[in-house]
Structure formats: structure tokens, C-alpha cells
Amino acid sequence: EHDPFAFTGLTYDDVLLLPEETDVIPSEVDTTTQLTRNISVKVPLISAAMDTVTESRMAIAMARQGGLGILHRNMSIEDQAEMVDRVKRSESGMITNPVTATPEMSVAEVDAICGEYRISGLPVVEEDSGKLVGIISNRDMRFVPESEMHTTKVHEVMTSMPLITAPVGISGDEAFRLLGQHRIEKLPLVDEAGVLKGLMTVKDFDKRDKYPDASKDDQGRLRVGAAIGFFGDAFDRAGALLESGVDVLVVDTANGQSRGEIEMIKRLKGDPAFAGIDVIGGNIATFGGAKALIDAGADAVKVGVGPGSICTTRVVAGVGVPQITAIYEAAKAARGTGVPIIADGGLQFSGDIAKALVAGANSVMLGSLLAGTDEAPGDLIFVNGKQFKSYRGMGSLGALQTRGKKTSYSRDRYFQADVPADDDLIAEGIEGKVQYRGTVRQNVFQLTGGLHQSMFYVGARTVPELQSRGRFVRITPAGLKESHPHDVQMVVEAPNYKR
């Protein structure tokens, strides 16, 4: 039975973590965490599915840093599927579908293709059979005079078979050894019939060294998630995203306990075609909400009704649960089920990450903390010499309105897919701007660095240890005031403290 005033909803600013006995140092902690039932990440940060936060550039940056991006859904199915594709191709242990040349192409054509894709050479395949017959690179084209580029054919200048190749399925380490041993830049992968099946390049291995924490699938491609709804052609969208290689789908609505969302999760989880990908459900903010999503089959539950910096749900509808309590309640429902919790929205500082994890989350989703980065969509805005980027709620008028477009793809997030005119929309978010804050790399570094410090104070080497050792103290408004810098004028803005 629900006793309405039996407990108080608490949020990030209402609590602090107690310092504990520790022999951990910040640099040696491991922040690996379970993102969904089947996917773990080294950094517990996810970028929000919002049109001012996550498109392919953000998703690539987040996955490289060890987190994950969820592509927003306020765009056509084709555009979103194309973005998934871009992330999956961006950095790969193996390029599964390399751009190729044919023997009869002119050198000029190859030169143009290389320019377009910014690559230094192409495998050459027989047009009909797809059989590898050579490779053509800058080196081969360099001595073809400008005037003869259009008349010289690829087969006249390419490096022909036999080439150094490897079978499909070769391990990354073995491929790297071959590239080094033969001092080559590209290693074509072929099947028994000699048909080109893939390509590995030195460039991709350089990136592997540069991003050791990167979130990757078992083919070595960066991981990416994408948001879908439940209304209209949402299931077709799911299919197109699957086709493009998406790793996780998020059924993304403002009330995860709605019938539409529960049915969509059940449909996806019941369809063998989707067996290979995980489905995140959300958002909910209670024990019952989490239980409903888990019962429907969700592989992770996303928590947050109203905490978002741009969100007005709690004032427009009077609905929501302060976030620490919401996470705590959802985590209780998830205990023992193996379903991880994602704390979505309301984080202001790095210290909030550890608070979310101790309350029971396994990872956090960020909007405002990433919207000001270079990799977020949108241009810089200059106001009085200061730099900003725009940031808006997906329930803001701007995001819900059609304004000339045939449709707004995010209306069903707020259950207003049936609203005929823009004038009749009820917004649950606002449109604003946030301070420009450099690259995703710099920001993720500061956020995870803050988490490392939390783990040191609590004496936790791992996220599960943090969750079991962490203890809260409730604080008052006076305590919160004491927590922030006070009685002093800040003269230099710290990279991890912006007001």
C-alpha cells in the first residue's frame, strides 16, 4: 500500500557520500560497469538521445572514450540508420565493406574516390566475381603524369597479386603482426575463393592505441545505441537500425510504464531477428515502473522523470520523483535480476556520478554536461564575447513542432503523436544554451577523474565495490551551501567547476 507521505524524495544535492577508510589511489581504480544485460563499458557515461547532444560525431567520441552515445530520434529513419552506419564504420578493426576499384577504372577515377573518402589507396577487385586482383595506392599513382590520369587504367599501375592477404576471421593481433612484418599499410582479407571480404589498415591500429578504453563490439567496431519510439513506424525504424548494425535500442519515452512502450519492448524481445541486440526501457522513477520494464524483458532500465536540466515535466504535470530516491527505488526492483540501471538526467557535477552509482545505478546518462562540447550538434553562439551552444529539451516546443517538416519524430515521446496543430502542443521542456566546454575527451576526462576521486574517498577499486561500500549522509540547504565555494569570489574557472 502506498503511504503518500511516508518518505521524502531526495536528489543529488540532498546527499553526500561519507569518506571511508581507504588504501585505494585514484589512478588505480577500475570504472568498468554493466550498461545492459550483455554489454559492459569501461566508462559509465552515456550521452543523451537529444537533438542538441547526440548525432554520429558525439556517438563516435563517446565510444572512443569508453562510454556510449544514444543517437536521438528526431529525424527520419534513413538519417538515423545512416548515422549508425557512420559510427560503425568510423574505426574498425576490420572494414567489412571496403571501398574498391576495378581494373578498368582510370587512375583519375581512383584519385577522386580516394579524395572523397580521405583514404590513401583501394583494393582492386574483378567486377563480376569480386575477386581481389591487386591494390592501388598513392605510391602507384604518383608517377602517372597529370595529362595521362584519365587514359591510364588501374591494372596498368596497380600492385598485382600475389599480395599479402589474410583469411577472414584473423585476430587483430595477428593482423597487426602481418602489417608490421611486411611493412604494409593495408591488409586485404579474402575467403577461400579469393573474394575480397574485408580490409585492415595501420590507421585503425593507431586509433586502437590512442583509445584503449573504447567501447567496441566483437568485430572491433565502435558501439552505438539509438532511440526509437513506439508509435507509427517505430518498429520499421528498429529494423533499419538493426540492419545498420546498432548495438542497443532505447525505447525512449517520457513514461516508460505506458502501454505503448511496454508492448514495444515485448515485441522487440519476442522477435528472434532482434536477439542479438539489447533493449533499454525508460523512463521510469518508481519501484513499480522498474518492475514493469523488467517484466516486459528490458535489458536495462533508464530512470528519470523530471530531473533533466531542460525538463519542465515536474512543473507542467506535477509529476516526478527526485532522482536519488528514484534510482534507489528502481535499483531495489532490479536487485537479483541482472538488469542494470541507468540514471538519466539531473547531473550537474562529476560528484553526482558516484552518488548515482551508490544509490544503485550502473551508469549515468548526460545531456547538459555534454551539450556544450565540440562534438554536440550545432554551432557556437557568441554572447558578449562568451561562447555557448544551444541545448533544448526533446519535449520543448522547438523539438515538438513540425515547422514545415512533414512530421516531428519526437512527439510520441510525450504521447502527443495525435496532436494535429503545433499550437495545440503541450511542451514539457525548454530551449536554452549552455557554456561551450571544449572536447568530449576533455570533459569525459574530468568527469571520470572526479569519479576516480570518489572511489578513492570511499575505498572502492571497482564499481560494485563503490556500490556496496558507499554510504550517504543527508544534508540541509546550509550543508549544500557549504559544499560549494563560498565567501570568496571565484577568479579562475576550474575545468570541473563551472557555474
Q: Write out the DSSP string of 193-251.
A: T-BEEEEEEHHHHHHHHH-TT--B-TTSPBP-EEEE-SSTTHHHHHHHHHHTT-SEEEE
Which residue, 137, 144, 140, 151, is CA-closest to 106? 151
Place of cell 595529362: 147
311 assigned to active site: yes
Among 367, 372, 450, 470, binds ligand RVP (CB under 6 A): 367
Residue 415 is placed in which grid cell? 504521447
Q: Which residue, 58 or 175, has its beta carbon nearer to ligand RVP? A: 58
User: Going residue by residue from 270 to 299, which x/- string records binding to ligand RVP, judged by CB under 6 A?
Assistant: -------------x----------------
- Burial (CB < 10 A; 0-12, 13-18, 19+), residue 42, is middle
**Of the ranges 191-199, 205-213, 342-350, 487-495, which one interacts with ligand RVP (CB under 6 A)?**
342-350
Q: Which residue, 136 or 311, has its beta carbon nearer to ligand RVP? A: 311
**Of the ranges 197-205, 272-280, 345-353, 479-487, which one interacts with ligand RVP (CB under 6 A)?**
345-353
Instruction: Provide the angle, in degrees to the nearest 10, between the axes of the packed helices 56-64 and 77-90.
Output: 30
CB 466 within 8 A of CB 354: yes
The C-alpha atoms of residue 198 and residue 218 are separated, in whole angstroms, by 15
CB 141 within 8 A of CB 119: no
CB 435 within 8 A of CB 383: no
Question: How many positions of this chain bind ligand RVP (CB under 6 A)?
Answer: 23
3-state DSSP helix/strand/coil % of the chain, to nearest 5: 35, 20, 45
Taking the complex as a whole, the smallest distance from the CB of residue 69 to ligand RVP amounts, in Å, to: 12
Q: Which residue, 292 or 305, has its beta carbon nearer to ligand RVP? A: 305
Amino acid at 44: P
State yes or no: residue 447 binds ligand RVP (CB under 6 A): no
Which residue, 150, 148, 181, 147, is CA-closest to 164? 181
User: Going residue by residue from 37 to 66, which x/- string records binding to ligand RVP, judged by CB under 6 A?
Assistant: -----------x-x----------------
Q: Which of 237, 411, 413, 437 is catalytic?
A: 413
114 assigned to active site: no
Q: What is the CA radius of gyration of the chain?
A: 25
**Of the ranges 77-85, 234-242, 339-347, 379-387, which one interacts with ligand RVP (CB under 6 A)?**
339-347
User: Do β-strands 431-435 and 386-392 pair in parallel, antiparallel, or remain unpaired?
Assistant: antiparallel
345 annotated among ligand-binding-site residues: yes
Taking the complex as a whole, the smallest distance from the CB of residue 399 to ligand RVP amounts, in Å, to: 7
Which residue, 270, 271, 281, 204, is CA-closest to 248? 281
**Of the ranges 143-151, 198-206, 234-242, 302-310, which one interacts with ligand RVP (CB under 6 A)?**
302-310
Residue 361 is placed in which grid cell? 545505478
**DSSP H helical segments within 244-350, as ranges?**
259-270, 287-296, 313-316, 323-334
Task: List the interface residues with ligand RVP, window 379-438 (CB under 6 A).
Answer: 393-396, 428-429
Q: Which residue, 83 or 376, has its beta carbon nearer to ligand RVP? A: 376
Taking the complex as a whole, the smallest distance from the CB of residue 45 to ligand RVP amounts, in Å, to: 11
DSSP 431: E
Among 279, 366, 458, 460, binds ligand RVP (CB under 6 A): 366
Q: Which residue, 349 or 456, has its beta carbon nearer to ligand RVP? A: 349
130 annotated among ligand-binding-site residues: no
Which residue, 499, 496, 381, 492, is CA-closest to 436? 381
172 annotated among ligand-binding-site residues: no
State yes or no: residue 310 binds ligand RVP (CB under 6 A): yes
Q: Which residue, 368 or 446, has its beta carbon nearer to ligand RVP? A: 368
Q: Which residue, 160 or 442, has its beta carbon nearer to ligand RVP? A: 442
What sign has the CA pseudo-torsion 298, 299, 305, 308?
negative
252 annotated among ligand-binding-site residues: yes
Among 350, 368, 443, 448, binds ligand RVP (CB under 6 A): 368
Q: Which residue, 320 or 470, has its beta carbon nearer to ligand RVP? A: 320
Q: Which of 311, 411, 437, 469 is catalytic?
A: 311
State yes or no: residue 199 binds ligand RVP (CB under 6 A): no
Which residues belong to the annotated binding site? 252-254, 304-306, 308-309, 311, 344-346, 367-368, 391-395, 428, 482-484
Which residues belong to the annotated binding site for IMP? 309, 344-346, 367-368, 391-395, 428
- Give contact residues for ligand RVP (rule: CB under 6 A): 48, 50, 283, 304, 308-311, 313, 344-347, 365-368, 393-396, 428-429
Could you list the active site residues?
311, 413
